[in-house]
Amino acid sequence: MTSIDDQAYATAFPHVANPADAMSEPAPFSILDRPAQYLKGVGPKRAQALERLGVRSARDLLFHVPRRYEDASTVAPIGTLEVGMDATAIGAVVSSGVIPTRSGLRIFQAVLRDGTGMIECSWPGQPYLERTIRKGDRLLVTGPVRFFHGRQIQPREFVVLGREDDLSDDAGMVLPIYAATEGLSQRMLRSILDANLDRLVEDVEAEEVFRPDYLRQRGLPGLRDALDLLHRPPTVQKAEAGRRRLAYDELFFLQLLHARTRHELTERQGTTFRRSNELLRAAHETLPFALTDAQTQAIREIFSDMTSPRRMNRMLQGDVGSGKTVVALFAALLAAENGYQTALMAPTEILAEQHARTLRELTAPLPVDVALLTGRLSKRERSDVLGSIATGTAQIIVGTHALIQEGVEFRRLGLVVVDEQHRFGVRQRKALAEQGIAPDVLAMSATPIPRSLALTLYGELDLSTLDEMPPGRQPIRTALREESARSAVYGFIREQVAAGRQAYIVYPLVSESDKVDLRAATEEFERLAGEVFAELRVGLIHGQLSGEDKDRVMRAFLAGDLDVLVATTVIEVGIDVPNAAVMVIEHAERFGLSQLHQLRGRVGRGADRSYCVLIASGGAEARERLRVMEETEDGFAIARADLRLRGMGELFGAKQHGLPEFRFFDAERDEALLVQARQDARAVIEADPGLSRPEHERFRQVLTDRYGERQRLYETG
């Protein structure tokens, strides 16, 4: 049986239809490469419709898997259906017929019955269904329940499951729901797939890249079975098994790319640090607080990297205030015990100064020298600091990226800590390596993201997470307000300022270069500064200001010379202004939850109670989403909610990072699968970094097909 319309194909592609001709011309060797138009039951018109679904080739059609399924498990007894529900029901057709209406519309109607009751189903404008749905058929319908002379379903979907008395066959009990389009209904898609699937899955078998025993060990079906299961699953669980297989495939190859980067970064041996505990014990004794369990665990993970000969290549993520700096300090002390220096790099000078201050406080009782290198030093100071770095008296050196970019000469650099620079890495590390230095690297991020997403984006890094806050933090009181409450909000700001505190007012900018939005923010600033808060000191900061100007405004706010700071989202993630107690976010509905959480994290750092006011317009849905902010301050919980609501691509600039669009991977459900894929990919690269062994030939091909010559997901910024 050929399910392909070979005759039509031969007419359209005479040069490849005959195998003898294919010798000279590289021919599509598989049916999967042929245009979908030549599949059985397609033709030019349906091919056009398929194209609107992104389906061009037969392969595309095979991978056009259902969006979801309906089955008996989602079926409600007919007696329980209520008006307003969106329901799926199964019953026997007890009567049917076409009813004309006065307007000329002809309606097909059928009455369904199960053990609990009866309901009318109605298909306006589809009289032809008379030929498809007959008395005695077992029918599955899904659609809204309405009131029309009684309860009635208007099915969006239906499937004839069989005859009433035919209960043996439950193979048809699952109804796949495809993405359909005008001119190509669900039913057409189903029938096209029915006619071609056997042949398509037969050909896809040749594209299997994993051995059967490899898949069996991981509980995954083969590619052929996976696609078969997705299109005609005996149960919804079986379809899920098919999806997992394809998700594994997506994850494995991305992790292969990450593993190669990781190999490159860790190939050169790092320093094998040893614990003498001279400094570390003293630090433990003098620390003014006990470490949280999460900090202890992160330090353990970091030490395990540092005491191994392999270079550390780790990301430490945790909310603002979760105590990352303290963890970094312990890593720096281990380096110092071994006679090595640590460079801690921050994205801005203000943040570098802040880190230096924290580290100096914490190390005050210890024989450790913390140096700060910024552009604000006088010539004289600078040359002193450079001297202490070169001789090694400075053990922890804090600065911006200029620290390593300007070729500062270290006596013995053993550890680099990078704050808020997720993509620090490859280029900078190469620059260091060229100086003959291969330090261990610890990247820190205050953007909590779900573990599954972190492993996807930063798969070349190992991950430590601070998912616990030090005790005794004051909660930030968060409230959602409407436009109508604006003057009350302004009144509240005035009160807080009168009590000696400071406030942020943040405006959303689609992008920092958006002129219209920027004008809106600037005009709003003028209104606030000139009218609303005429008696207060109001400043403005946005992305179009020069670095110097931004720095000046931020310092003024930090010093308490401004009461209110009107800002776009440029205000630094890590900035710590303990006296700032109010964060007002305008048009909160335009921000993602994670972004709101980041903004809110700029307050709540001092001893006073802090407040976050979200001013939002928009419908009930937008408000419902923002409620999450009122309910929790847990950045990871918020990130998970955000992920569920917006999907991975939209989050955290995942697309900008070059993250591919996943069709099968589900970040919420597939964390274990992801960990497995990462472990598998790393094992392959460890054993065969160049993928040059014959058994890895296919991996190399697929990797190149998907990611081209790209060496890593993103290039460093």
Q: How far is the CB of 473 from ligand ADP (least distance, A)?
A: 8
CA–CA gap between residue 651 and residue 669 (Å, rounded): 17
* CA distances from residue 622 to 297, 611, 617, 644 in whole angstroms, order as listed: 38, 21, 8, 14
**Residues touching ligand ADP, count (CB under 6 A):** 15
Helix (H, G, I), strand (E, B) or coil at 49: helix
Stretch that binds Mg ion, among 340-348, 383-391, 538-546, 571-579 (CB under 5 A): 571-579
* CA distances from residue 695 to 230, 688, 692, 707 in whole angstroms, order as listed: 28, 10, 8, 20
Stretch that binds ligand ADP, among 13-21, 30-38, 319-327, 375-383 (CB under 6 A): 319-327
If the CB atoms of residues 58 and 352 are measured against Mg ion, the closer one turns out to be: 352
CA–CA gap between residue 651 and residue 598 (Å, rounded): 13
Q: Is 333 in the site for ligand ADP (CB under 6 A)?
A: no
**Residues touching Mg ion, count (CB under 5 A):** 2
If the CB atoms of residues 83 and 364 are measured against ligand ADP, the closer one turns out to be: 364
Q: Are 192 and 221 in contact (CB under 8 A)?
A: no
**Residue 234 near which of Mg ion, ligand ADP, none (CB within 5-8 Å, type-dependent):** none
Q: Categorise residue 278: left if φ over 0, alpha if ψ from -120 to 50, beta otherwise.
A: alpha
Binding ligand ADP by CB under 6 A: which of 35, 323, 399, 635?
323
If the CB atoms of residues 325 and 594 are measured against Mg ion, the closer one turns out to be: 325
Q: Is 325 in the site for Mg ion (CB under 5 A)?
A: yes
DSSP 150: S
Looking only at the bridges linking them, the beta strands covering 86-100 and 106-114 are antiparallel
The tokens describing 369, both together, are: 């020298």
Q: Are 229 and 238 in contact (CB under 8 A)?
A: yes
Stretch that binds Mg ion, among 79-87, 196-204, 570-578, 655-663 (CB under 5 A): 570-578
Q: Are 440 and 415 in contact (CB under 8 A)?
A: yes
| Contact positions with ligand ADP (CB under 6 A) in 241-300 | 289, 291-292, 295
Binding ligand ADP by CB under 6 A: which of 117, 392, 470, 543?
470
**Residue 57 near which of ligand ADP, Mg ion, none (CB within 5-8 Å, type-dependent):** none
CA–CA gap between residue 154 and residue 87 (Å, rounded): 10
Stretch that binds Mg ion, among 129-137, 324-332, 457-465, 522-530 (CB under 5 A): 324-332
**Residue 292 near which of ligand ADP, Mg ion, none (CB within 5-8 Å, type-dependent):** ligand ADP
- Cross-strand pairs, 585: 506, 614
Task: Give 459's Cβ-side CA count (13 Å radius).
Answer: 31
Helix (H, G, I), strand (E, B) or coil at 438: coil
Q: Nearest Cα to 684, choosing from 666, 667, 698?
A: 698
Q: Are 571 and 504 in contact (CB under 8 A)?
A: yes
| Contact positions with Mg ion (CB under 5 A) in 573-602 | 574
The site string for ligand ADP over 352-381 (x = CB under 6 A, - otherwise) reads ------x-----------------------
Please enumerate in sequence order all residues whose Cβ is within 8 A of that of 174, keeping only pairs 6 or more positions apart, or say none: 69, 70, 71, 232, 233, 234, 235, 236, 239
Residue where the block lists tokens 């005050």: 364
Q: Is 129 in the site for ligand ADP (CB under 6 A)?
A: no
If the CB atoms of residues 31 and 299 are measured against Mg ion, the closer one turns out to be: 299
Q: How far is the CB of 474 from ligand ADP (least distance, A)?
A: 12
Q: How far is the CB of 299 from ligand ADP (least distance, A)?
A: 11
Stretch that binds Mg ion, among 30-38, 153-161, 320-328, 614-622 (CB under 5 A): 320-328
Binding ligand ADP by CB under 6 A: which of 261, 325, 569, 598?
325
Instruction: For residue 32, count CB atoms less than 10 angstroms from its CB and return exposed for 0-12, middle for 13-18, buried for 19 or more.
Output: buried
**Residue 291 near which of Mg ion, ligand ADP, none (CB within 5-8 Å, type-dependent):** ligand ADP
Q: How far is the CB of 361 from ligand ADP (least distance, A)?
A: 8
Cα–Cα–Cα angle for 412, 415, 416, rounded to 5 degrees: 115
| Contact positions with ligand ADP (CB under 6 A) in 671-700 | none
* CA distances from residue 354 to 249, 344, 359, 400, 566 in whole angstroms, order as listed: 44, 12, 9, 12, 22
Binding ligand ADP by CB under 6 A: which of 65, 320, 397, 509?
320
**Residue 321 near which of Mg ion, ligand ADP, none (CB within 5-8 Å, type-dependent):** ligand ADP
Stretch that binds ligand ADP, among 34-42, 168-176, 187-195, 317-325 (CB under 6 A): 317-325
**Residue 569 near which of ligand ADP, Mg ion, none (CB within 5-8 Å, type-dependent):** none
CA–CA gap between residue 326 and residue 349 (Å, rounded): 19
- The residue length of the chain stands at 717
Q: How far is the CB of 348 from Mg ion (least distance, A)?
A: 12
- Cross-strand pairs, 416: 343, 441
Q: Are 127 and 105 in contact (CB under 8 A)?
A: no
Q: Is 322 in the site for Mg ion (CB under 5 A)?
A: no
If the CB atoms of residues 128 and 289 are measured against ligand ADP, the closer one turns out to be: 289
**Residue 295 near which of Mg ion, ligand ADP, none (CB within 5-8 Å, type-dependent):** ligand ADP
If the CB atoms of residues 55 and 344 are measured against Mg ion, the closer one turns out to be: 344
If the CB atoms of residues 222 and 318 are measured against ligand ADP, the closer one turns out to be: 318
**Residue 592 near which of ligand ADP, Mg ion, none (CB within 5-8 Å, type-dependent):** none
Stretch that binds ligand ADP, among 318-326, 423-431, 500-508, 542-550 (CB under 6 A): 318-326
Q: How far is the CB of 50 from Mg ion (least distance, A)?
A: 52
Binding ligand ADP by CB under 6 A: which of 326, 334, 616, 677?
326
Q: Nearest Cα to 61, choosing from 110, 117, 139, 3?
A: 3
Q: Nearest Cα to 710, choosing from 325, 254, 168, 58?
A: 254
Q: Is 456 in the site for Mg ion (CB under 5 A)?
A: no
Looking only at the bridges linking them, the beta strands covering 610-615 and 580-585 are parallel
Q: Is 155 in the site for ligand ADP (CB under 6 A)?
A: no
b/e code 357-377 from CB counts within 10 Å (16+ = b): ebbbebbeebebbbbbbbeee
**Residue 374 near which of ligand ADP, Mg ion, none (CB within 5-8 Å, type-dependent):** none
The tokens describing 559, both together, are: 């010093």
CA–CA gap between residue 609 and residue 709 (Å, rounded): 53
| Contact positions with ligand ADP (CB under 6 A) in 440-459 | 446
CA–CA gap between residue 715 and residue 713 (Å, rounded): 7
Q: How far is the CB of 351 from Mg ion (least distance, A)?
A: 8
Q: Are 37 and 168 in contact (CB under 8 A)?
A: no
Q: Are 338 and 270 in contact (CB under 8 A)?
A: no
**Residue 255 near which of ligand ADP, Mg ion, none (CB within 5-8 Å, type-dependent):** none
DSSP 651: G
Q: How far is the CB of 470 from ligand ADP (least distance, A)?
A: 3
Binding ligand ADP by CB under 6 A: which of 243, 314, 324, 542?
324
Q: How far is the CB of 573 from ligand ADP (least distance, A)?
A: 9
Cα–Cα–Cα angle for 397, 398, 404, rounded to 5 degrees: 80
Which residues are at the interface with Mg ion (CB under 5 A)? 325, 574
Interaction site with ligand ADP (CB under 6 A): 289, 291-292, 295, 318, 320-326, 358, 446, 470
